[in-house]
Chains A and B, each alone.
Chain A
């Protein structure tokens, strides 16, 4: 991956929330999953949102990923409000500018490794030659060259998550959002994945926002935000991340 030109404007806000609130109605009761969250992810960030189960981490990630809509407040992407955007406009924004890594990898089982990574490029209608080049480069970065034709069920958990990371990066998004990326992996493999993300952040200036309850992930963060009961309880700036 070429070092992105975004690195030269490190510190530019990519994602911002203003009074972000999400509540659900369960019978007679209203549950506030998120409560007036204000948060900014800037270019080059490696931020980790940490909190226990049910604290609102995944709800926050869903809002930031533009796959769920807030009850109140606003999510700004590159300074642009997203609340009034249609489903189709949000989908276009996601396919071009947001990379997603899921806890359970969420690869398409009938597609090969290369085809899984290629999928977002098909959505952006990237020319065939460019697609092939990008897929090869991303797979090399995540250490899966030679695995192009394998199916997901022929890979280990760590390899699958690497494929998911390659898929998230292939469109050169402004930000990659990862939801518990190490939760389904053993600790050694989880460490490898986090080192991979950290390397991509350090070497290629990819902006990451990782949501996790795994304390070992915090070691890789530049910023750690603690969330509890739907509220950001505090933020810890850690400066330079742990060397890989």
Chain B
């Protein structure tokens, strides 16, 4: 039967090529778009993890933005306890702590509301020094220094070596102000972060807020894929230790990523559905015509003793070969187009970002298998109705067909 199904595809080569071409086009188109989406998603994942680390452990009131005072602060003792619970987890590269505060950055007569993130300088986990494009990063012995985003620096006319004043409210509610030396300017993928966020040494942030606490512990893992399993395991340990802290993964911490990722999923889902429907209906038309032309032959093979189910299976098998061939060609074509696209190195600056990225297409197993699978499934599905109709014709009527 497989032989007959394959031979049937050679009956009308032009029609078979047209069908396979449509399947291939749909598959190639899906592959390129999915590959592009995956590359873009990977870039965003990278920058998101660069911003948040893999995991953050903090009071849920802070993470949910519901804190009214500084009740969310983690004391040094609890911080040490948490780090002890995190360290045994597989894949943990290290931990660091942060303390963020809102303040007013003043230079000469200009001010800006900023979010100052206190970080442990030169830590191995997340110190943001790699973002610095002018000047230098924060050093371990720094206290009164600050890294300012390029966009904010441009707006305030700041350069490394300039001094600014940062005003904030202490934990006890008093105003506090301290001068800071701008030691470096950084660039980030998000213009919003560049404009509203500065990095200061953790010791400075604690000094300004008059506390020895931190607001979160950041965990870095060796692989992105470990994130969710590690979050579950560490969360369980925190609960067992009765610590009122929660673990949040990088994707949950970034509403931007969640929104964009959801948009990508929607975009790709829509495209896949469109390709599925397009391939389905075009191949349906072609197969219907093809099967109709063979009505007499169906009558013959049924008269010889082929059962309806076997005839149905024959037609479906034929469409399966067609789908496999079309999908295979589509994968090859899609990979070829993508390689050309990658070689072209087209730069693009996404909205809301400060640096252009190079557009590209990723080839992962899902990027190839999903379009291939969808193409094959839509082709096979398109055979069901005409195959069913072909089997419902009576043998006598089928034999009379011209």
Contact = CB atoms under 8 A, between A and B. Distances in A.
B109 interface: no
B254 to A, nearest CB: 58
A110 B4 contact: yes
Given A67-B303, A92-B305, A108 B394 contact: no
Contact of B394 (A68, A115, A124): A68
Contact of B305 (A62, A91, A115): A91
Contact of B4 (A65, A67, A87, A108): A108
Interface stretch (A73-81, A95-103, A190-198): A95-103
Contact of A111 (B7, B303, B399): B7
A123 B306 contact: yes
Interface stretch (B137-145, B294-302, B372-380): B294-302
Contact of B304 (A88, A100, A111, A115): A100
B66 interface: no
Contacts, number: 67
Contacts of B308: 87-88, 91
A88 B395 CA distance: 13
Interface string A167-179: 1000000000000
A189 B396 CA distance: 27
Given A94-B303, A106-B300, A67 B7 contact: no
Contacts of A51: none
The SS class assigned to the A binding surface is helix
B396 A67 contact: yes
Nearest to A98: B305
A147 interface: no
A110 B10 contact: yes
Nearest to B1: A122
Contacts of B394: 68
B223 interface: no
Interface residues of B, number: 24
B14 interface: no
A62 B10 contact: no
A120 interface: yes
Contacts of B1: 122
A92 B301 CA distance: 12
B396 A115 contact: no
B399 A95 contact: no
A31 to B, nearest CB: 15
A167 B305 CA distance: 12
Contacts of A65: 303
Contact of B3 (A87, A96, A100, A115): A115
Interface in A99-127: 100, 102, 106, 108-111, 115, 119-120, 122-124
Interface of B: 1, 3-4, 7-8, 10-11, 296-297, 300-310, 394-396, 399
21 contacts: A62-B395, A67-B395, A67-B396, A68-B395, A91-B305, A91-B306, A91-B307, A94-B304, A95-B305, A100-B304, A106-B303, A108-B297, A108-B300, A108-B301, A109-B11, A110-B8, A110-B10, A119-B4, A119-B304, A120-B304, A123-B306
